[in-house]
Amino acid sequence: MKRLLLLAAAVTAMAAQAQSFPGPKPITIVVPFAAGGPTDRVARDLAEAMRKPLGGVILVVDNAAGAGGSIGANKVAKATADGHTLLLHHIGMATMPTLVRNLPFKVETDFEYVGMVNDVPMTLIGRPSLPASNYKELTAWINENKGKINLGNAGIGAASHLCGLMFQNALKVDMTTVPYKGTAPAITDLIGGQIDLLCDQTTNTTSQIEGKKVKAYAVTTSKRLTTPALKDLPTLNESGLKGFEVTIWHGLYAPKGTPADVVAKLNVALKAALKDPDFIKKQEGLGAVVVNDKRVEPAEHKKFVAAEIAKWSPVLKAAGVYAD
Ligand code: ASP
């Protein structure tokens, strides 16, 4: 009897929580990379676009950067499951399970999937003082400078790491990788000439390319992009790296155990945000494409992440790069 009463009280409490969600306190979106970078950009625009559909609650961004995105993801996996702490992550959700040996959480079971956000191309960029002005000249420069080239990334498991790894494998050239807490500090060092190359999302590189602050060599998608600042860039595939394709994506997650009604409310708000003309315009201007309602469905996104883990796992195992 006592157990039944306790159970009834717990169910009532959960129903009340869902009804009152969101409460008056802000919702925190944890970004597992440094402020000012590509994932941070998406999170901040999303925070603004989700505010109205969530009844005006404030959404703040918390940059819990480091270890290729696993520190921030772990923070959310262990957070209170009340819908007030969320994680915005990218393809790292699919690379971490293979790359990080002692990952302190499970991507498949420690989160409630709120939904997918967007697809984002990447670009290969270089320091402004690099003598090569197009991809052909870049390959010649790489061949002449083997053993001396520094390639930045946001740590093992980050999108920039995956893209850089694929690039080195395709060229069969080893570069010295320099890990940062995000590609915001990496791009600052690239502009300053401390590193030579970086593979990074268009949500970070578009304005730098437009402002001619960096040298841009290619896009990593299979087709050229239509964004005005990027439309003249060749694909790596057409430039000689046959079959090269890295497109990344973002998804929104809550800690495991977040009540189903709360996740459903967050999913509805996410869908509304992805239809907000302002958000769409901002994303398109940065080369990103928001996904349709079907792909925003939590179950659909979960299936997609599982397929991405299966797709990248053999590639990463073959490359033999691991973090502890
Ligand atoms: N998304 C970037 C990467 O994976 C990191 C960042 O957002 O700063 O390299």
pLDDT in tens, 10-54: 544 555 555 689 999 999 999 999 999 999 999 999 999 999 999
Pick the last residue of a domain from 181, 204, 219.
219
Say if 233 falls within a structural domain.
no
| Tens-digit pLDDT profile for residues 229-252 | 999 999 999 999 999 999 999 999
Residue 63 Cβ < 6 Å to ligand 1: no
d(CA 218, CA 102): 34
- Residue 60: name the closest of 71, 48, 72 by CA: 48
d(CA 265, CA 114): 9
Regarding whether 106 and 165 lie in a shared domain, the answer is no
Tell me the CA–centroid distance for residue 32 and ligand 1, in Å: 8
Regarding whether 106 and 20 lie in a shared domain, the answer is yes
Contacts of 60 (CB under 8 A, 6+ apart): 26, 27, 28, 29, 47
Say if 324 falls within a structural domain.
no
- Number of structural domains found in the chain: 2
Regarding whether 96 and 18 lie in a shared domain, the answer is yes
Average pLDDT on 292-310 reads: 97
Regarding whether 261 and 189 lie in a shared domain, the answer is no
Closest-CA residue, ligand 1 atom 7, reads 39
| Tens-digit pLDDT profile for residues 178-194 | 999 999 999 999 999 99
Say if 128 falls within a structural domain.
yes
From the alpha carbon of 154, which atom of ligand 1 is closest? 9
Say if 142 falls within a structural domain.
yes
Regarding whether 100 and 186 lie in a shared domain, the answer is no
Distances (CA, A) of 117 to 42, 114, 277, 296, 308: 9, 10, 15, 7, 15
Regarding whether 139 and 72 lie in a shared domain, the answer is no
d(CA 246, CA 290): 17
Say if 285 falls within a structural domain.
yes
Pick the last residue of a domain from 200, 219, 238.
219
Domain that includes residue 167, residue range: 122-219
Structure tokens at 202: 């268009």
Closest-CA residue, ligand 1 atom 6, reads 182
pTM of the model: 0.91
Residue 324 is classified by DSSP as -
Regarding whether 169 and 113 lie in a shared domain, the answer is no
| Among 62, 160, 206, residue to substitute to test ligand 1 (most atoms within 8 Å of Cβ) | 160
